[in-house]
Amino acid sequence: MAEPIRLVLVEDNQVFREALELLLGLQSDIVVVATVGDGSSAAEVVRAHKPDVVLMDYRLPGLDGVQATRAVREACPDVAVVCLTASPNSRAVDAPSQAGAAACLSKDPELDDVVAAIRNAAS
């Protein structure tokens, strides 16, 4: 059996973060190794936990999702970032990609879509 995908979750909304952590934890091939509620802590947490994938909110206190994605990719170039945005306009999709995100999704998709994006980013 392959090693599970190690995931760090960066989301400022505590209820949404806890729900995602719970739902993603039900996946047999994903383990949430850490969660953080602001962009400023993202790179530090990623360095400490060495995940395969970071699920990053677009709008965060401190560093926003684009800045935090850039910081994570600079600190740990092998870590893939999947960005989630509540407003999927072209800026919210293009900016994370330009910062190094592997994918950027709306917060509206089915959980299966988020899981698929995490799996694709990890491979």
Report the distance separating Cα 36 and Cα 87, nearest Å: 21
Report the distance separating Cα 31 and Cα 67, nearest Å: 25
Report the distance separating Cα 53 and Cα 36, nearest Å: 14
Strand order in the sheet with 103-106: 30-36, 5-10, 53-57, 80-85, 103-106
pLDDT computed for residue 19 by the predictor: 93
pLDDT at 92 exceeding the cut of 60: no
pLDDT at 119 exceeding the cut of 70: yes
**What is this structure's pTM?**
0.91
Per residue in 51-88, pLDDT tens? 999 999 988 888 888 899 999 999 999 999 999 887 76
Per residue in 21-49, pLDDT tens? 999 999 999 999 999 999 999 999 999 99
Task: Please answer whether residues 6 and 28 qualify as being in contact, where contact means their C-beta atoms are separated by less than 8 angstroms.
Answer: no
